[in-house]
Structure 1
Amino acid sequence: MSDALPDGLHEFLGQTDWADATVAPLEGDASFRRYFRLNLSGESAMLMHAPPPHEDPKPFLHVAHWLTDVGLRAPRIIAEDAEAGWVLTEDFGDERVREWIDAHPGEERAIYTAAIDTLAQLHTIPPGPFPPYDMAVYLREAMLLVEWYCPAVGLDVDLEGYRQAWEAALAPLLDRQQPGVTVLRDYHAENIMLPPDGGQGLIDFQDALVGHPAYDLVSLLQDARRDVSPELEAEMLAHYRAKAAPGEDFDADYARLGAQRNAKIVGIFTRLAKRDGKARYLAMIPRVWDAMERDLAHPALGPVADWFAANIPQELRDASGGKMP
């Protein structure tokens, strides 16, 4: 990561009360976005640079304002220049759920319970003004596995059969996600902050859609970046059921969206390594494969499980959880 400050940074800050702040670059994520911490007179703020044409901060701003308006803890927007890619927000600090639990394992259950409570609250609110998580999106995401992972491990697979299997598996849940809930889409231990003033803060929600309530539960409890035990997963799902009463088909839909999300992530992580040179994501793929195998065991995934059995040799899915691309 370059420590050089982007052009236009000081011009943007000059239009705010933070013009004289010190600016410290922070580690980025899997995108072209960059983050900076500002310090001024003992106060801090976060500056995001999401420059066009690779990035567009408008979706982040759209979702952040909506979340704040409905009472959820998104970072407060201090200043913005969407056309130039600048967003200045409140600072949630450095404590993410992942590192906090690593350092305080005895608090894992309480932190996950609070994260489930946030989703239960979100799901009581009419969905936001966001695009639908429809079959076209589900299929486009699931296809990432055959577009990136399969070629990377030298497999020539039945692409049309793969698409048809997913259509058959996912079709039953489409009616059950009407009118839908707001789906944050990347709700996991590295995107939940523990601000200094308490509670939990949301970040990385700019891709929000309107879809099924199980999706963010999968994102949280089948986390690609840290191990969540099957026991804790089951306990948190029971807690959600008690809070939200989602219906008798919820477990099947959770498995459907678990398999779909995990197939997508295997494809994305392979793409990050092969196209973008971010090889560190390969080490996470076995964990994702393990979760996907559990999802595929559910009868609701019969067509998809049959496709995997016919197209991806078991030796690539066993042991390490999937051959590294």
Structure 2
Amino acid sequence: MGERLLHLADQRATERLAEDIAVMLRNGDVLALSGELGAGKSTFARALIRAVADDPDLDVPSPTFTLVQSYELRLTIAHFDLYRITDPDELAELGFDEAVATGVVLVEWPERAGNMLPERAIHLTIAEGETADARTVHIRAPDQTIARIDRTLAARAFLDASGFKGVQRRFLLGDASSRAYERLVADGASPFILMNAPAQPDGPIIRDGKPYSRIAHLAEDVRPFVAMAKWLKSKGFSAPDIRADDLEQGFLIVENLGSEGLLDPSGAPIEERYTAAVEALAQLHVTPVPGALPVGSETYHLPAYDLGAMQIEVELLVDWYLAHERGTPPSATEREDYITLWRQAVASLEGSEAHVVLRDYHSPNLIWRGDRERVDRLGIIDFQDAMLGPTAYDVASIVQDARVTIEQPMADRLVAAYVAARHGLGPFDEPAFRRALALMQAQRGSKILGIFVRLKQRDGKPGYLRHLPRMRSYVAEALRHPDLAELRSWYETAGVFGSGAGDDRQA
């Protein structure tokens, strides 16, 4: 267990601590709030619930008489006040165990819960400080949770030191990686976003003395993001301006490019916006390739999207997806044949057109700015894993969007729009591009099938499984290209497109 002692100058500081805790909350967190009457437990709980709701006027009544008050917000929150209970067994009647299992729980007077609190509970003891409004808060929690609390407090210190003292923090999103994002709100406006991306330690060595992240050339800190953001902006593309950074800790304050995306209110793709996205790629692909990119006092060079990176990515299908789909892992022969076929396929890309590959160029990472013109209409917000590789890769990303279905007729029109734009910008080898596109669609789709299963099985994020049917369909379509006939035969024989022994219907 770890402990921290915080000194808060006034009620606003108490409310600000509640906001800092709110952005780091996860389902399963239990906050046990102890202290004398009037110490500030209800003040803390009310501020935390309003922060999660992103509603400063939300009515948050004390549950003193109802014993429990529930809120269906970004997270389901159950607020318990145990002052009036006489026996811990009463918690079962109040649905305490279910609340712990399905959301976040706040408990005032937790000492009356006996041994009903889980060991992972976060204990906050609030006491009066040296002045009437001052408070001290003693926090006790498991070491991993204390690390999360330290991280959110470090983010607050970074904001204070960067000219954003006292700004409200509101959870925006977390993605499939360790990154998280928050809106920074002042005077009702939110022109900036906090990017919280701690440096990632190397994983286990898996090949040639390197971990997966090094072989696949994944960004391990924020420096590649900073370098690419500045380069994209210098070339006229709409990447976020960076207002402040702490490269060592992995904190960035970046411009909020907006909240409107490429989808309509029902979640369907808006073709005009996707067309603008492929035309922006065409413009990118005739922009001179960057060399050394300045970042802080250093320089950054884009890595090559090489055979090793492509190969380790497609192996995710046999390492994670295949056993999930059919219930049995691949045999040694199946795996060897698969790797050989992909090695031959990737080798055929040698000499193909190469440029910046942004890597995650699809709807969640693109912002629509309809009041702008040309490439400035499209905000690009995710590029820290950029490399130099086949120009077809990002076209594959957008026309086979992993999170929204792009029907084949629309995909064909988008590819035609890209091709027309490239022909209009200078010499362009269309047949070579179309061969590379089919290969990159199959490669990317195979990788994503493995990643989505890994997110569920290794990282406890089952929501991504709902995208598996879409990705299977995309891969099957890509493998119709005649140059990929041998790969298609392997996929069909191995049961990649089977009905699914444990598939997404359980997500």
| Fold match by TM threshold 0.5 | yes
**Residues 52-97 of structure 1, C-alpha deviations (whole Å, 9 max, x = no match):** 3355111211211111122111100000001011100111222222
Q: Which amino acid aligns with 1:284?
A: H
Partner residue, 1:166: 342
User: Hey, what does 1:120 align to over in structure 2?
Assistant: 282
Aligned to 1:11: 157
Structure 1 residue 24 and structure 2 residue 170: aligned?
Answer: yes
Letter in 1 for 2:158: F
RMSD of aligned C-alpha atoms?
Answer: 2.1
The CA deviation at 1:254 is: 0.8
Q: Partner of 2:259 in structure 1?
A: 94
1:228 is aligned, of 390, 406, 409, to 406
SS in 2 for 1:66: helix
> 2:170 corresponds to which letter in structure 1?
A
Q: Determine which of 378, 387, 393 is the counterpart of 1:200.
A: 378
SS at match of 1:35: strand
Could you tell me whether the CA contact under 8 Å between 1:134 and 1:174 is conserved in 2?
A: no
1:270 equivalent in alignment to 2:453: yes
Amino acid at match of 1:231: P
For residues 109 and 84 of structure 1, the distance between their equivalents in structure 2, rounded to whole angstroms, comes to 40
Q: Which has the higher helix share?
A: 1
* TM-fit CA distance, 1:118: 0.8
Q: 1:76 aligns with which of 233, 241, 260?
A: 241
Deviations 1:224-253 (A, max 9, x none): 110111111101111111111341222211
> What's the secondary structure of 1:143's corresponding residue?
helix
Higher share in strand: 2
Q: Secondary structure at the match of 1:14?
A: helix
Structure 1 position 196, deviation (Å): 7.8
Where 1:182 maps in the other structure, the secondary structure is strand
Report the AA paired with residue 82 of structure 1.
Answer: L
Q: Tell me how far 1:16 sits from its aligned partner.
A: 2.0
- The number of residues matched between the two structures is 316
Match of 1:130 in 2: 302
Q: 1:249 to 1:89 in 2, by over 3 A?
A: same
Structure 1: distance between partners of 2:178 and 2:432? 39
What is the percentage of aligned positions where both structures have the same residue?
36
1:61 is matched by which residue type in structure 2? V
Gap change, CA 1:104 and 1:289, over 3 Å in 2: closer
Deviations 1:242-277 (A, max 9, x none): 111341222211111100000000000010000001
Secondary structure in 2 matching 1:118: helix
Shift of 1:14: 2.0
- The one-letter code of the counterpart of 1:223 is D
For structure 1, the 5+ residue unaligned runs are none
Distance in 2, Cα, partners of 1:187 & 1:116: 10
Which consecutive unaligned segments of at least 5 residues does structure 2 have? 1-23, 26-51, 53-148, 202-219, 291-300
Aligned AA (2:335): L
52-61 or 267-276, larger mean C-alpha shift: 52-61
* Letter of the structure 1 residue corresponding to residue 200 of structure 2: P
**Partner of 1:48 in structure 2?**
195
Structure 1 CA distance for aligned equivalents of residues 314 and 232 of structure 2: 28
User: Shift in Å at residue 133 of structure 1?
Assistant: 0.9
Write the distance in 2 (CA, Å) between the matches of 1:244 and 1:291. 24
**Aligned AA for 1:161?**
D
- Tell me how far 1:104 sits from its aligned partner: 8.5
2:180 matched to which residue of 1? 34
Counterpart Cα distance in 2 of 1:276 and 1:220? 26
- 1:175 and 2:351 matched: yes
Separation (CA, whole Å) in 1 of partners of 2:371 and 2:445: 34
Aligned partners of 1:57 and 1:85 also within 8 Å: yes
Instruction: Provide Cα deviations, 1:14-42, integer angstroms capped at 9, x if missing partner.
Output: 22222232111222111111111112235
The code of the aligned residue for 1:148 comes to W
Tell me the secondary structure at the aligned position of residue 176 of structure 2.
Answer: coil
Which structure has the larger Rg? 2
| In 2: Cα distance, 1:242 partner to 1:275 partner | 43
Distance 2:196 2:387 in 1: 23
Cα 1:109/1:255, change in 2 over 3 Å = same
Contact 1:215 1:257 in 2 (8 A): yes
Deviation at 1:194, TM superposition (A): 2.1
The CA deviation string for residues 130-153 of structure 1, in whole angstroms up to 9 with x for no partner, is 111111111111111011112333
Query: What is the DSSP-based 3-state SS (H/G/I as helix, E as strand, rest coil) of the residue aligned with 2:174?
Result: coil
- CA shift, 1:309, in A, is 3.1
- Cα deviation, 1:277-298, whole Å, max 9, x if unaligned, reads 1001111011000010111111
How far, CA to CA, are the matches of 1:195 and 1:14 in structure 2?
30
Distance 2:447 2:351 in 1: 22
Amino acid at match of 2:467: M
C-alpha distance in 1, partners of 2:283/2:370? 22
Contact 1:189 1:220 in 2 (8 A): yes
* Distance (Å, rounded) in 2 between the aligned partners of 1:53 and 1:115: 30
- Compared CA separation, residues 196 and 258, structure 1 to 2 (3 A): closer
CA distance in 2, matches of 1:93, 1:238: 29
- Contact 1:169–1:303 (CA under 8 A) maintained in structure 2: no
For 2:497, the equivalent position in structure 1 comes to 317
CA contact (8 A) 1:92 1:196 kept: no
Q: Whole-Å Cα distance in 2 between the matches of residues 167 and 52 of structure 1? A: 31
Closer/same/farther in 2, CA of residues 196 and 218 from structure 1, 3 Å limit? closer
